[in-house]
């Protein structure tokens, strides 16, 4: 008989002295340590004090019988498996059943057979170790789980700080997202540009859990950083794509739809890379125009091959853009059927109260029989009057001691630069070094953006703004803009900025010139200031937001002034 590898401590509870002695010898010779008890009560007490690994228990003993002792020992052992082998010459099945009911794991009949006893001890020891391993692994899993949850809590807290620095609580945004959507890779961001436009991003990273969430942080940083500095969708997209391409492994990327909602121009600019169709809901006609994915997700293509081309659509007050993650249309019913786009559109068709849409979609998903998924994200952004929204005041951290007050600068941006570079964020940052201008940064940015895009689009590219009279022409206009910009060979836009002190305040003169054909200034200026046409909004915007706006050189040169008083 080979002793088992690790000696066990075995309690022998047996009232017959000869049997006890014999069994002790057998067990000891098999290499184990032996504890003995002459009755049930002694057995329980010995177990309590010395915690043996295994118990050999006679059924019939004085003081306390083996059945009761087994029950008490099992209770004391708790989750740990302490195998109890009943020693018995009992043969009736009823008596054997009693042994099992009391918690016995096996029987050993008298007369004892050392070979069978050794085999049983070995088998019970295997069982005991198995149970110990299961418990150990269960505890380990529980610890890992707690650890993971805690990590997610921390990650979410950090991420919320970043994500919520935006304007998801603006009155024109409604959204629905599981609080832990981040760990399904869903990402929803919104922020105002310096001009008061709103950028919105709904993204969906591949994968689940922390790996899906890690890309969200750099993406959000780029989104907020560049939006706040006045970059447009194209530059922001290029930067986000390049960053994700650089940091993410090959099999990870981010489907995303990015919107720029312009309240002043009443339009929405869209880029959809790999997300389900979004919808532009025109309230007046009831039409829901799909905003279809035209690009690969972010983080797939190299910066050289990435396509940042956007589409622009006109919007009227109250019109809405609806975006959703694939969790909505990929929700499954009991038969693995997908909810699908058709069912979504039926919900759209049945919708009477635009504000109830989210609830109705949620209800439809529940009725469909799909289990509630936590990667269902929806967002709806509506176009309000610009005055109904209050972009947060920008926070500056410098002291103001080094504020430049008397300077001028000239830029000339030529064809190759106009194609790929947006100078507005740089110009704005430069101007916002002047503390007196900070209070009107929104107006300043809007006017600069308007003058620059007029010079580029109507001047250098020779686009006809009357195209933008209706929705179809609107789309064609932006199509042509992209085409002509790509093909651009020569031309320029010049920007002249001049800052001068004036009393205790100061004055900024902005002049923007272009190499284009100019326009009939007198005719455009005749139009009333508050026209809500799709075309020609730019000029009236400049006249409303800036002071002393004027055009010369047949419209090729625009000039506008900004003033500020002494700072408090």
Partner 1 sequence: MADTHLDQNVLSALQEVMEDEYPELLDTFIRDSEERLHLLQNSADAMQLMEAAHSFKGSSSNMGAVRLAELCHELEQRAKQKSPTGIEKLVGEIDGEFAIVRPLYEAEKQRSLSE
Q: Which residues bind partner 1 (CB under 8 A)?
A: 15-19, 21-22, 25-26, 29, 58, 60, 87-90, 110-112, 114
Sheet strand arrangement including 378-382: 173-176, 378-382, 320-324, 278-281, 288-291
* CB-CB contact of 267 with 312 (8 Å): yes
Shortest distance, position 23 Cβ to partner 1, whole Å: 9
- Find the angle CA(325)-CA(330)-CA(334) to the nearest 5 degrees: 145
Shortest distance, position 133 Cβ to partner 1, whole Å: 33
Residue 405: alpha-carbon gap to chain centroid:
43
Work out whether the CA dihedral 204, 305, 232, 406 comes out positive or negative. positive
Q: Which is nearer to partner 1, 25 or 150 (CB)?
A: 25
Q: Which is nearer to partner 1, 28 or 414 (CB)?
A: 28
Shortest distance, position 52 Cβ to partner 1, whole Å: 21
How long, in residues, is the chain? 568
Shortest distance, position 111 Cβ to partner 1, whole Å: 4
Residue 372 has which token pair? 């509630």
CA distance 229 to 441: 11
Determine whether 71 is exposed, middle or buried from the number of CB atoms within 10 Å of its CB (0-12, 13-18, 19+). middle
Q: Which is nearer to partner 1, 60 or 475 (CB)?
A: 60
Shortest distance, position 20 Cβ to partner 1, whole Å: 9
CA atoms within 13 A on the CB side of 86: 27
Shortest distance, position 128 Cβ to partner 1, whole Å: 25
Shortest distance, position 93 Cβ to partner 1, whole Å: 15
What one-character-per-residue DSSP string does 200-254 give? EEEEEESSSHHHHHHTHHHHHHHHHHHHHTT--HHHHHHHHHHHHHHHS-TT--E
Residue 370 has which token pair? 């799909």
What one-character-per-residue DSSP string does 276-315 give? PPEEEE-TTT--EEEE---BPPBTTS-TTT-----EEEE-
* CB-CB contact of 187 with 159 (8 Å): no
Q: Which is nearer to partner 1, 32 or 468 (CB)?
A: 32
Determine whether 484 is exposed, middle or buried from the number of CB atoms within 10 Å of its CB (0-12, 13-18, 19+). middle
Q: Which is nearer to partner 1, 58 or 375 (CB)?
A: 58
Residue 517: alpha-carbon gap to chain centroid:
47
Q: Which is nearer to partner 1, 18 or 157 (CB)?
A: 18
Residue 10 has which token pair? 């075995």
What lies within 8 Å, CB to CB, of 526 at 6+ separation is none
Q: Which is nearer to partner 1, 15 or 125 (CB)?
A: 15
Shortest distance, position 78 Cβ to partner 1, whole Å: 31
Residue 165 has which token pair? 């620095």
* CB-CB contact of 536 with 465 (8 Å): yes
Q: Which is nearer to partner 1, 114 or 318 (CB)?
A: 114
Q: Which is nearer to partner 1, 58 or 513 (CB)?
A: 58
Shortest distance, position 58 Cβ to partner 1, whole Å: 8
Q: Which is nearer to partner 1, 117 or 431 (CB)?
A: 117
Q: Which is nearer to partner 1, 17 or 75 (CB)?
A: 17
Shortest distance, position 109 Cβ to partner 1, whole Å: 9
How far apart, in Å, are the Cα atoms of 73 and each of 58, 61, 67, 154, 484?
14, 16, 10, 44, 88
Residue 126 has which token pair? 């295997």
Residue 426: alpha-carbon gap to chain centroid:
30
Which of 20, 58, 60, 54 has its CA nearest to residue 36? 20
Shortest distance, position 64 Cβ to partner 1, whole Å: 13
Shortest distance, position 36 Cβ to partner 1, whole Å: 13
Shortest distance, position 90 Cβ to partner 1, whole Å: 8
CA distance 413 to 421: 9
* CB-CB contact of 260 with 269 (8 Å): yes
């Amino acid at each position: 008989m080979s002793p088992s590898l690790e000696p066990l401590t075995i309690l022998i509870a047996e009232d017959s002295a000869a049997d006890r002695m014999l069994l002790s010898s057998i067990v000891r010779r098999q290499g184990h340590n032996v504890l003995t008890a002459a009755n049930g009560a002694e057995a329980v007490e010995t177990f309590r004090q010395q915690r043996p690994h295994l118990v050999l228990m006679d059924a019939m003993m004085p003081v306390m019988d083996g059945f009761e002792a087994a029950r008490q020992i099992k209770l004391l052992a708790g989750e740990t498996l302490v195998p109890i082998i009943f020693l018995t010459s009992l043969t009736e099945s009823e008596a054997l059943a009693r042994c099992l009911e009391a918690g016995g794991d096996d029987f050993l009949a008298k007369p004892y057979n050392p070979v069978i006893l050794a085999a049983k001890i070995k088998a019970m020891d295997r069982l005991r170790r198995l149970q110990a391993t299961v418990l150990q692994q269960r505890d380990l899993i529980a610890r890992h789980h707690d650890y993971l949850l805690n990590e997610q809590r921390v990650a979410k807290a950090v991420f919320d700080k970043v994500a919520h620095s935006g304007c998801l609580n603006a009155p024109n945004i409604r959204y629905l997202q599981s609080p832990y959507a981040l760990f399904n890779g869903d990402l929803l961001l919104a922020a105002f540009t310096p001009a008061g436009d709103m950028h919105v991003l709904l993204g969906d990273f591949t994968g689940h859990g922390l790996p899906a969430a890690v890309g969200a942080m750099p993406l959000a940083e780029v989104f907020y950083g560049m939006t706040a500095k006045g970059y447009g969708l194209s530059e922001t997209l290029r930067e986000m794509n390049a960053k994700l391409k650089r940091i993410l492994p090959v099999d990870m990327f981010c489907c995303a739809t990015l919107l720029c909602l312009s309240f002043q121009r009443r339009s929405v600019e869209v880029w959809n890379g790999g997300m389900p169709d979004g919808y532009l809901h025109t309230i007046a006609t009831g039409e829901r125009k799909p905003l279809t994915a035209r690009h690969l997700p972010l983080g797939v293509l190299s910066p050289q091959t990435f396509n940042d081309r956007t589409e622009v659509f006109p919007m009227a007050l109250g019109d809405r853009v609806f975006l959703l993650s694939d969790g909505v249309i990929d929700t499954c019913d009991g038969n693995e059927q997908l909810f699908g786009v058709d069912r979504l559109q039926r919900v759209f068709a049945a919708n009477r109260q635009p504000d109830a849409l989210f609830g109705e979609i949620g209800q439809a998903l529940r009725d469909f029989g799909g289990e509630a998924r936590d990667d269902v994200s929806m967002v709806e952004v509506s176009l309000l009057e610009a005055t109904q929204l209050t972009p947060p005041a920008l926070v500056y951290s410098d002291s103001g001691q080094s504020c430049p007050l008397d300077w001028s600068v000239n830029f000339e941006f030529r064809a190759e630069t106009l194609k790929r570079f947006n100078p507005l964020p740089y110009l704005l940052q430069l101007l916002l070094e002047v503390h007196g201008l900070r209070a009107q940064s929104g107006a300043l940015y809007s006017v600069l953006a308007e003058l620059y895009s007029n010079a580029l689009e109507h001047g250098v590219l020779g686009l006809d703004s009357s195209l933008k009279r209706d929705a179809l022409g609107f789309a064609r206009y932006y199509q042509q803009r992209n085409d002509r910009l790509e093909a651009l060979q020569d031309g320029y836009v010049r920007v002249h900025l001049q800052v001068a002190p004036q009393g205790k305040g100061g004055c900024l003169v902005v002049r923007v010139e272009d190499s284009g054909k100019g326009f009939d200034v007198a005719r455009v200026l005749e139009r009333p200031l508050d026209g809500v046409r799709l075309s020609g909004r730019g000029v009236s915007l400049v006249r409303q937001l800036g002071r002393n706006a004027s055009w010369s050189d047949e419209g090729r040169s625009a000039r506008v002034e900004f003033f500020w008083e002494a700072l408090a």
